[in-house]
Amino acid sequence: MSEWFPGATLFSASRPAIVQDRAVVFGAPSTTLVVSLVVLLASALPRAHAEASDALDDARALMAAGDFDQAAEKAREVIAVTPDRGVAHLVLGLAYFRVGRYPEALVAFSAARTSAMPASPGPVAFNEGSALFALGRYGEAQKSFEQAARIAPNLVFLATVNAAEAALAAGDFAVAKQHATAAKALATTPDLQEVMGDLVERVDREAVQARIRTREARREQARAALAEDRLAAAVAIYEDLLLDPSPPALTDTERNVLEHGFGLALLRQNRFDAAIQHFAQAAALDARDGDSLYMQGIACFRAGAWTKARTLFRRALRREVDEETADTARGFLDRLSFGARRGGAGASFGLSGGAGYDSNVIQGADSRPETITADQVGSAGAFFATGSAHVGYQWLVRKTGFMAGDYDVDQLAYPDSDHQDYSLQDHNLRLRGEWSPLSLAHFGLMGGEELQFSGLSGFRAFQNILNAEPSIAFDELPYTSTILRLRLQEKVALDHNYDYYTGSRVDVRLGQRMRLGALRGELAFRHRRERIGTRTATLLQVGTSQSFKFRKRKPTDPVDAASYVYVAPYSYDSNAVLAALEVGLGRWRLSADAAAEILNFRGDSMVYFVVPTMSIDRLYESQNRRDLHLSGSLALAARLDTHMDLVLRYDVTDNRSTLVLDVDDRNYLKHVVTFTVEADW
């Protein structure tokens, strides 16, 4: 360099790096190294005009003295006289550069290159690179430095160093590493080699930091995509981050976070199997990570893998999770059991209203299990209206207990005058509790009181029932549960006309419940011991001997009229098989129930013919009664919104009995169609 430009000085854009007579002094290696070449040699420039040469020498001297504004003025004077001299433009550009006027410097360097008498292309390209770097145009600066290295052998080392710095500033770490390595090979002294080695390390270090920043930015993009429900974008980002082989390798902590986020995105896409896999990988990377186990449990729960879900929720509770997550995990464990806790805690409200048609009003009602033919008035069928309300509150007691209080009121109303008396209003107050000490075993107890009223215009108290119901259930599998229930009832008729309803009932029921995905079902056996009274009805025969029927005695009938006294015992023992099935299909829910019950009545049903005036009282008919009671229902419910359903229900009852008497025939068929609107909160 001293051959071309003795006394030449080079300057860094950010700090001085002075090259003088081949002696290079660098500042701290962590400071950006960009060198600008200043040419101050008059002898190397062609001298067409002495005045111009003298003026340009003056500009160089002013530059050396640090008076850059005056140097620029002198350079402009030369350019005004000889505008085609590239070296004058080069000196002007250098003066501009030293005072930070980088755009003007870049214009002057361009003129130095394109003038009729252009300046040396190597220094011009080098200085253009310096100006471009100062302007933040790192990619263009890199190309200028690479050009200077190709065409100016004496600038190869410095231009290569600066090309590395420009590429590093542009974020092109591969190219920066290539140039820094090349500069290290060009270094001619141990000191320079050490400095270039530091540059190579800095390139590597900044490349790593940049990749880390990029990863963090991409992870934030994935989080934002999740928050904005752009699930496909989130999945793509997480997948790219996890598959990126670039160093540095992901730490276990970083991979745990990414696997968890990937699982969340997949879960929200309902890709349960893939979500389960990534949550499992996240949990395996951190022995304290309970959140990933919890989310894996949710994915299994939604996929119908309840056995695995239950195990995962329990494992999550043994790891580090916050209290809200722990409560939710315990809630899922409750839901995965058949126990009462699965309903959760808090208040519940319900309302319903509807209407329907009953083809055989007097038969088959649960509250009035027995009527006789003579009870029939008018047509057998009638329209009815129904309504109900429910209010309740549930408590979760510690981690294993449950308590609830409920109140229900139901109204069944037959508005026609023939059947008003069969209208029924039922008030039911219950207190329930359950204890699940082993999670899979549930011990329950229910107590309550039921108060019934009958009629509409003749509204009156009908019956009071006290209930007690202990139970025990075992969840032997996540899909099945066995429950044994004992129900005890004490009934008291509140209307003396119906004293024969007073008594007791004992039910023992053994059931097997199952659920699989959207399917729910139960198969049960029930034994019933009904001990209530015997009905005695005095009937009169009306009509001819060829066509007659029986009716109840009226107060206006003669006391000495011939009558029939019907004695019907209502106590019985029965055994029943019951089945229920329900399936959810999106907003639709289909349910079906069926039961078959054999009833053996205690004592014979007898009819006596009585004529008081003739002292006649003899047995007319006698029959031992045994019934096969078949019933079934089918219901279709449509969910209108979160709280409201429309329900269409059909019930059928077919009672087949050995009791066939002139006054009573216990064989009957009953159809009921009901349409209701139900709301719950």
Q: What 3 state SS string does 343-373 have? A: HCCEEEEEEEEEEEEECCCCCCCCCCCCCCH
Indicate which CATH number applies to the domain containing 655. 2.40.160.40
The alpha carbon torsion through 298, 301, 302, 303 (nearest 10 deg) reads 120
**How would residue 548 be classed by pLDDT, with cut points 50, 70 and 90?**
low
As given in the structure block, the two tokens for residue 503 are: 């008594």
Residue 103 three-state SS:
helix
As given in the structure block, the two tokens for residue 392 are: 């309740």
Specify the pLDDT at position 477. 74
Contact by Cβ (8 Å): 278, 262:
yes
State how many domains the chain has: 3
Specify the pLDDT at position 547. 57
Q: How distant, in Å, are the alpha carbons of 160, 185, 369, 432, 580 from that of 509?
A: 91, 91, 20, 18, 14
Dihedral sign for Cα 171, 174, 176, 177, please.
positive
Angle between helices 252-268 and 272-285 in degrees, nearest 10: 160
Contacts of 247 (CB under 8 A, 6+ apart): 208, 211
| H or E stretch covering 571 | none
Residue 485 falls within a domain, yes or no? Answer: yes
Looking at 147, 179, 211, which one is the last position of a domain? 211
| H or E stretch covering 470 | strand 460-477
Both 184 and 234 in one domain: the answer is no
Both 245 and 260 in one domain: the answer is yes
Mean pLDDT (whole number) for 173-188: 89
Contact by Cβ (8 Å): 576, 546:
no
Alpha-carbon span 525 to 631, nearest angstrom: 15
As given in the structure block, the two tokens for residue 401 are: 């207990």
Burial class (CB in 10 A: 0-12, 13-18, 19+), 381: middle
For residue 148, what are the β-bridge partners? none
Q: Where are the beta strands (DSSP E) in 503-643?
A: 503-516, 519-532, 534-543, 548-552, 563-569, 572-585, 588-611, 616-639
Q: What are phi and psi of 509, to 5 degrees?
A: -130, 130
C-beta neighbour count of 65 within 10 angstroms: 10
For residue 191, pLDDT over 90 is answered with no
For residue 369, pLDDT over 80 is answered with no
Residue 294 falls within a domain, yes or no? Answer: yes
Contact by Cβ (8 Å): 138, 166:
yes
Alpha-carbon span 173 to 142, nearest angstrom: 12
What residue type is assigned to position 233 of the chain?
A
Residue 2 falls within a domain, yes or no? Answer: no
Alpha-carbon span 429 to 368, nearest angstrom: 20
Indicate which CATH number applies to the domain containing 132. 1.25.40.10
Burial class (CB in 10 A: 0-12, 13-18, 19+), 4: middle
Both 477 and 546 in one domain: the answer is yes
Looking at 314, 336, 358, which one is the last position of a domain? 336
Residue 589 three-state SS:
strand
Contacts of 322 (CB under 8 A, 6+ apart): none
- Interior CA angle at 345 toward 344 and 350, to 5°? 90
**How would residue 96 be classed by pLDDT, with cut points 50, 70 and 90?**
very high
Both 313 and 346 in one domain: the answer is no
Q: Which of 7-21, 261-275, 397-411, 436-450 has the highest mean pLDDT?
A: 261-275
Both 347 and 415 in one domain: the answer is yes
Percent of the chain at pLDDT exceeding 70: 89
**How would residue 284 be classed by pLDDT, with cut points 50, 70 and 90?**
very high
HSE, side-chain direction, 13 A CA sphere, residue 44: 18
Q: What are phi and psi of 482, to 5 degrees?
A: -110, 130
Looking at 336, 359, 392, which one is the last position of a domain? 336
246 DSSP assignment: P
Question: pLDDT tens-digit profile of 628-672?
Answer: 999 999 999 999 988 899 999 999 999 999 999 888 888 999 999
Q: Among candidates 132, 37, 133, which has minimal Cα distance to 87?
A: 37
- Interior CA angle at 678 toward 471 and 334, to 5°? 35
Both 327 and 353 in one domain: the answer is no
Q: How distant, in Å, are the alpha carbons of 12, 215, 359, 652 from that of 669?
A: 106, 74, 8, 7
Specify the pLDDT at position 33. 42
Specify the pLDDT at position 543. 64
Residue 216 falls within a domain, yes or no? Answer: no
Q: What are phi and psi of 284, to 5 degrees?
A: -70, -20
Both 331 and 360 in one domain: the answer is no
Mean pLDDT (whole number) for 418-443: 89
Both 267 and 323 in one domain: the answer is yes
Query: pTM, whole model, 2 decimals?
Result: 0.61
Q: Which residue has better confidence, 396 or 408? A: 408
Both 303 and 345 in one domain: the answer is no
Range of the domain at 245: 229-336
Alpha-carbon span 59 to 71, nearest angstrom: 4
Please tell me the least confidently modeled range out of 113-117, 293-297, 558-562, 597-601: 558-562
As given in the structure block, the two tokens for residue 321 are: 């999770």
Residue 429 three-state SS:
strand
Instruction: For the chain, give the mean pLDDT.
Output: 86
Q: Among candidates 651, 643, 592, 631, which has minimal Cα distance to 384?
A: 651
Both 617 and 502 in one domain: the answer is yes
Residue 75 falls within a domain, yes or no? Answer: yes
Return the exposure string of 259-279: e unless at least 16 CB atoms fall within 10 Å of the residue's CB, then b. bbbbbbbbbeeebbebbbbbb
Residue 513 falls within a domain, yes or no? Answer: yes
Both 498 and 606 in one domain: the answer is yes
Q: Which of 92-96, 201-205, 335-339, 379-383 has the highest mean pLDDT?
A: 92-96
Q: Which residue has better confidence, 332 or 590? A: 590
Residue 109 falls within a domain, yes or no? Answer: yes
Dihedral sign for Cα 547, 548, 549, 554, please.
positive
Residue 503 falls within a domain, yes or no? Answer: yes
Both 476 and 579 in one domain: the answer is yes
